[in-house]
Structure 1
């Protein structure tokens, strides 16, 4: 009996030790973003040791990290019944409440998890803080408050400082975040995530060369630490976009590092999706289409895969495939998961499909595309900046009606870098598309408003005054003729202030002849002899052979 009792205790100790090792391995896999490996370990632990709630919590947490809320909730709820540490699962349920914007429910679940904490135990507090940080609706101040409670109990806890760094950074306290990460790394030099996060702060400050040096140091410390290669990839990408002269060199380094990152993960759907997101940034659409098709073999249900297929097919010129994939995506995705770029690609795909063999558009389908583009810009105004090259191409193809529709969407973001040019092209397109017999007068009114916007933002642009004058002249009402006069006069005034090289340009000389002819004729007809003579003499200076100016001046002097 005595020997049996000793053997039983030994086996108990052994199983506890094995469990701890397995859980540590799962945590390391999660840190390395090897999510499928972590799930495999944790599912084994759930089966072999169902009395320990930690197994269920960490398994649910992996699913939560992969945006699989239903699976996460199922394991958290099962974990509540575990005899040991079952209350940890209230933390997972609390994060789900936060994601659903149910702060009261989240707080109640966190209180349940914390109710049985031993006096010197900080694990629950840190996991609650992590939930506040990682939620889709984070509360960084609550996270900081909770972490500080843990640090009062254990002021050397490296994980606490790591989380404090995340919370401070999320709360826009960059210096405090950097300091917290440094404290985490000082407390535990094996915590490469802390060192990596310090380098990320440097990267975000656009000190790309310094950040890359720091990431390379991490590679030397542990060449198998996958996440650092992803950070290197993203750093080279941002460096490439900030230095166009070295774009190709840096983007190739970015792609190579991301491939290295992928080789060190378990090619889970989540890792592949992050890869796909990066390929979109890097504009490698051939690789994106290949990756999306590989994902589709593994999971034919996940809507995001159809997003990637739709984006890639459009960029690769396969518009029918793009339409098919995006239609599938919108049918399957939760509305809250739709992003502005989804509407953008749906709109662009419809426009591409609307283009007929003769180069013109099926207006019905084209306008359906415009509706989607409006949704995109409403959801994220920054999207408007991407419409300029598409609209400009239509304009150059003399598809003025369609270009105008596109630029009407583009100008909805006054902070766009193309804002002034978009209004220029909107005015141009409306003006050149105008047909006196078939177009509504409202079209000229819109063109006038567009050029007024340009003048407001760029008062020294003579071109805007010239076209504003032409638009008002074409309106042919007493009020519009006076507006045309004023605009022509401003055109002359602005151009006269420019240097001789600018005045000598053929387009500007032609514009001056047009403007001075209109102004001179107006004053001659209205009886203001002095102003008529002044402007007609200027006209002869620009165009000495101008017959109208010569005859009119002669008549005025008679």
Structure 2
């Protein structure tokens, strides 16, 4: 009995102190190196875990219930994203039961969510040490390392997971992705090949391997892998399309056409195949075939609206261009027909039509877009701008009223509304809209000058000449070459017979800038007429009459001839003015009495 105890005691000594025994036996020991701070910290942590295990004791029923209660509350607060309270409860559970792997795991996860990566790492490591068979613990630790860009450490965690946890080979794919993220392509290939050994031939493995070959510039191997995918999956058109795109991207255009047509044999309406062919023929400088396949792609609802819009926007960037206009308009029309309830389809079609001088059609498409989404400020702005360009006052009033219901603080709509009121012979409402809009444009001097221009016209209509002149002066203070102001201001001064020298200076300046503009020549002539410079007025009007058919200009010429004593000539011009239209209310009396009335 005594000898048995001695043998047991000796075995324990050998087990617990191998280093001391080897030293006693005279075995040479390797020199110890100094541990790094990180190694000392990890060693300290492992020692604490070991001590905790050694001190492990059976919890009482009350302690177990209390620990579980804290844990459940901690999980609840974590779900509510109240991480401060979550950690408070989880740490309370930990103090009672520090050797519970689930508690350590949850504390690690919560620390990760709050950005405390140091504690997250330590608690995740502890969870694994306490339960090395739970895959979720490894996954959390790998995520923690990856978030710190410690990819080698994360890869090692996956390697250990696959080794220690039964039936965890599918995590080889995660490991391969991690290697790919680090551009460790050879390691990724090795890992994928290992996965293929475990699970057999898999499309996912082949596809990823193909991507790796491409990144390694091993095109032939990538293409070979693609052909293998197609052979193994003859009914999967996506692999055929991927192969066609690969050929196209690497300037193997005949092969790209061949494989894309193979895809169309399987799926005749495939939009992606048509897009590949359109791009290949474009690269081959064959615009007819390229457009044919592009139109077929656009005819397919399988090509989503956003992709179509992106293509049309590329056309817009190149417009106006006569060689592209027909194709762009055709594609826009197809888009609105195939996607009749998509606001963006009508909006992009409107943009193309506006750039190709199809303004009425553009406005119709903008209005269609607004039927489906009335919140787009830019579309309303386009609509009212086209109304103004087309001179359709009634439409301009209707559309600005609707736009102002949605955007009451947008000065531009008040501007167009005020202009429409003026054109509609309602100067009072025009002034009200323009004055209100001008206040909204306080931070936009250019827009304020446009308001001043319109206000000058509006106040003139109301015969409030002081405010009219002040508005014109304000507009000229911003832009001394404002053609509309120079013309209207000088003309209205001539009608009033006031400040004729100022009016002459403005009108003269204008015709120097625009020597062939019949309207500006007529204004200058009328200022000279008011100054009784009939010869000078005649010269300017004869220049204007070379291009104009405006009855007002012709009537003015007749008035000048009358002042110069040419009664017959004046009468003939007055008759011509009446035929042309646009003459004054006095034209009939002038013709009847062969006499000038002013």
TM above 0.5, yes or no, is: no
Larger Rg: 2
TM-score where L is the length of structure 2: 0.34
TM-score where L is the length of structure 1: 0.37
